A and B are shown apart, each in its own frame.
Chain A
Amino acid sequence: MKKDQKVLSATSSGTPEKYSEHMAHEQGAVKSTSRRSFLGSAASAVAAATVVSTSSAIANPLEVQPSSKSMGRTTVPQGYGMPSKYEDHVTRNRTDVYVNKQNYSDWSMTPIQHQQGIITPNGLIFERHHAGIPDIDPDTHELVIHGMVRQPMRYTMDNLMRYPSVSKFHFMECSGNGLTDWLAVKSKTVQQTHGLLSCSQFTGVPLSWLLDEVGLESGAKWLLFEGADGSAHARSIPLDKALDDVMLVFASGGEMLRPENGYPLRAFIPGWEGNTSVKWLRRIKVSDQPWHLRSETARYTDPMPEGKFRQFSMEMECKSVITNPSGGMQMQGPGLYELQGFAWSGNGTVKAVDITTDGGRSWRTADLEGPVLDKCLTRFRYRWNWDGGPAKIASRAVDSTGYVQPTVAELAENRRIAGFVQHHNGIFPWAINTKGEVSNAIA
Chain B
Amino acid sequence: MQLRKITIASGLALALSFSSAFAGGSKPAVSFGTTITEADIAAWDIDIQTATGKGLPSGSGSVAEGKALFEMQCVACHGVDAAGGSQYGSMVGGKRPLTGGGYPHASILFDYIRRAMPMNAPQSLSNDEVYALTAYIYALNEFIPQDAVLDAESLASIQMPVHVRDGFIVDDRPDTAATRCMEDC
Q: Which residues of A contact B (CB under 8 A)?
A: 101-102, 104-105, 130-131, 144, 146, 151-155, 159-160, 162-168, 206, 208-213, 215-222, 224, 226, 230-232, 234, 238-241, 243-245, 270, 282-283, 285, 287, 289, 291-294, 297-299, 301, 304, 307-315, 317, 352, 354, 360-364, 396, 398, 403-407, 410-411, 413-415, 419
Chain B contributes a number of interface residues (CB within 8 A of A) equal to: 77
The residues of B that contact A298 with a CB separation of less than 8 Å are 96-98, 101-103, 108
C-alpha gap A396/B102 in the complex (Å): 33
B65 interface residue (CB < 8 Å to A): no
The stretch of B1-9, B125-133, B134-142, B144-152 in contact with A is: B1-9
Given the complex of chains A and B, what is the CA–CA distance between A282 and B180 in angstroms? 45
Q: Top 6 A-B pairs ranked by shortest CB distance?
A: A298-B102, A240-B9, A232-B115, A245-B21, A298-B97, A406-B176
Is B36 touching A238 in the complex (CB atoms < 8 A)? no
Q: Are A154 and B47 in contact (CB under 8 A)?
A: no
A216 partner, pick from B13, B31, B119, beta carbons under 8 A: B13
CB distance from B10 to the nearest CB of A (A): 5
Please determine whether B163 and A307 come into contact, CB atoms closer than 8 angstroms: yes
CB distance from B75 to the nearest CB of A (A): 15
Contact sample, A vs B, 8 pairs, CB 8 Å cutoff: A163-B28, A206-B22, A217-B13, A219-B10, A241-B2, A313-B173, A361-B185, A404-B177
In Å, the complex CA distance between A253 and B28 comes to 25
Chain B residues numbered 154-185 whose CB sits less than 8 Å from any CB in chain A: 163, 167-185
B48 in the interface (beta carbon within 8 A): yes
Q: Does B116 contact A (CB under 8 A)?
A: yes
Task: Give CA–CA (A289, B10) in the complex, Å.
Answer: 11
Checking A102, A153, A231, A313 against B31 with a beta-carbon cut-off of 8 angstroms, the contacting residue is A153
Interface residues of B (CB under 8 A from A): 2-3, 5-6, 8-10, 12-14, 16, 18-19, 21-22, 24-28, 31-38, 41, 44-52, 86-87, 96-98, 101-105, 108-109, 111-112, 115-116, 119, 122-123, 163, 167-185
Interface contact B2-A312, CB-CB below 8 Å: yes
**How many pairs of residues, A versus B, come closer than 8 Å at their CB atoms?**
249
When chains A and B are docked, how far (Å) is the Cα of A439 from the Cα of B59? 57
- Given A144-B41, A211-B16, A301-B168, A234 and B51 touching (CB < 8 A)? no
Known: A155-B32, A211-B16. 7 other contacts (CB 8 A): A224-B47, A241-B2, A292-B51, A292-B104, A301-B102, A363-B182, A363-B183
Q: CA of A212 to CA of B35 in the docked complex: distance in angstroms? A: 14
Q: How far apart are A168's CB and chain B's nearest CB, in angstroms?
A: 8
- Shortest B88–chain A CB gap in Å is 8
